[in-house]
Amino acid sequence: MEEQKAIYGIIGNPLGHSLSPVMHNAAFQALDVDAEYKLFPLKEDQLDEFFKDLKKEDSPIFGLNVTVPYKEHVFQYMDRLSPLAEKIGAVNTIFISKNRELIGYNTDAPGFMAHLAELQFNTADKRIAILGAGGSTRAILTALCMIPERPRIIKIYNRTTSKVDELLSDLKVKINIDVVEPVISIDDLDIPGCDLLINTTSVGMSKEDPSLVEEDLLRPGMLVYDLIYNPPETPLLKFARNQGALTANGLGMLYYQGVMALQRWAETEIDESVKYQMRLALEEALGYE
Ligand code: ATR
């Protein structure tokens, strides 16, 4: 009898523009395994049934990613959580063992740090400014607070200031957030004095979007990191480039979190040649040169 194809996929809603299938199917092809990565655009009232089916012995699903709005919601279905997922309070990768045990991981945080390392940015004693206080900030901020190369200060601003307060009061019971300083205006971020500026907001995704930061606040020597990767250069990154700052978009973070998810599912390191195909697939899908 022919063996059933292994299924992997991503749950979230909406999922229309997810690049995870492109990246992971390129990996499966490079690994020459009979597996397929699918989109599972589930409504909230479909989650109970989906996770009930996932526990069945004959389920073909062996690994999942989770994206907005379910990264926190899926906690209740996990049999175990990695310590990091527990600290962040969000799961983006689910490993399913042979006996159908579900283990929740977070690869967003180490994915971001891996990209920073690739960019040769050492966080030790650096001044960091963060725009936004959504799900991505939660992962990134946790990573930046836990890394041994401790930043000097991390200032954080969000349009809705109460969200920063909620985020910090949640994180402070689990990790040391002494270096974090919430501010109530963009000016208070002291952008000209920072070494790393991170935009985690969605401002820049639409063509009409402005840059939240004025061009003359940016300068050479700083790294401006925009989590947005489509378009590849947001107005913020364009300003940063004009001013001679280093720039990076979020494609690297997407790639590294994907590699780390795949390594969880495969329970082994992935060859550089396979990783190369994953990154190439992402860049091709986005029409990067
Ligand atoms: P993600 O998981 O990608 O972080 P999210 O949790 O939806 O996404 O967070 C979106 C972030 O973009 C939030 O910080 C949001 O600010 P609010 O908390 O005030 O909503 C921010 N954001 C979205 N649109 C914005 C805008 N027009 N101006 C400023 N911030 C904006």
> What CATH number should be reported for the domain holding residue 173?
3.40.50.720
Spatial separation of the C-alpha atoms in residues 137 and 249, rounded to whole Å:
15
Give the DSSP per-residue string, 221-259: T-EEEES--SSSS-HHHHHHHHTT-EEEETHHHHHHHHH
Active site residues: 71
The per-residue pLDDT for 259 is 98
Does 92 sit in the ligand 1 pocket, CB within 6 Å?
A: no
Q: Tell me how crowded residue 221 is: count the other CB atoms within 10 A of its CB.
A: 8
Does 133 sit in the ligand 1 pocket, CB within 6 Å?
A: yes
* 126 and 102 assigned to the same domain: no
> Which residue of 13, 201, 234, 254 sits with most ligand 1 atoms within 8 Å of its CB, as the best mutation to test the pocket?
201
The per-residue pLDDT for 175 is 97
Does 199 sit in the ligand 1 pocket, CB within 6 Å?
A: no
> Which residue of 71, 140, 159 sits with most ligand 1 atoms within 8 Å of its CB, as the best mutation to test the pocket?
159
Count of domains observed in the chain: 2
Q: What angle do CA 178, 182, 183 make, to 5 degrees?
A: 145
Asked whether the beta carbons of 233 and 239 are under 8 A apart, the reply is no
User: CATH number, domain at 19?
Assistant: 3.40.50.10860
* 265 and 175 assigned to the same domain: no
Atom of ligand 1 nearest to the CA of 227: 3
* 184 and 198 assigned to the same domain: yes
Greatest Cα pair distance in the chain: 66
Spatial separation of the C-alpha atoms in residues 181 and 163, rounded to whole Å:
14
Range 204-232 average pLDDT: 96
Would residue 1 count as lying in a domain?
A: no
> Assign residue 98 a region: left if phi > 0, alpha if psi is -120 to 50, beta otherwise?
alpha
Task: Provide the residue range defining the domain that includes 206.
Answer: 109-249
* 221 and 259 assigned to the same domain: no
Would residue 51 count as lying in a domain?
A: yes
* 53 and 116 assigned to the same domain: no
Please provide residue 176's backbone torsions phi and psi, each rounded to the nearest 5 degrees.
Answer: -85, 115
Does 159 sit in the ligand 1 pocket, CB within 6 Å?
A: yes
* 175 and 270 assigned to the same domain: no
Return the axis-axis angle of helices 272-285 and 20-31, rounded to nearest 10°: 140
The per-residue pLDDT for 289 is 74
* 32 and 160 assigned to the same domain: no
The per-residue pLDDT for 2 is 57
* 230 and 266 assigned to the same domain: no
Q: Is pLDDT at 1 greater than 70 in this prediction?
A: no
pLDDT tens digit sequence for 237-254: 999 999 999 999 999 999
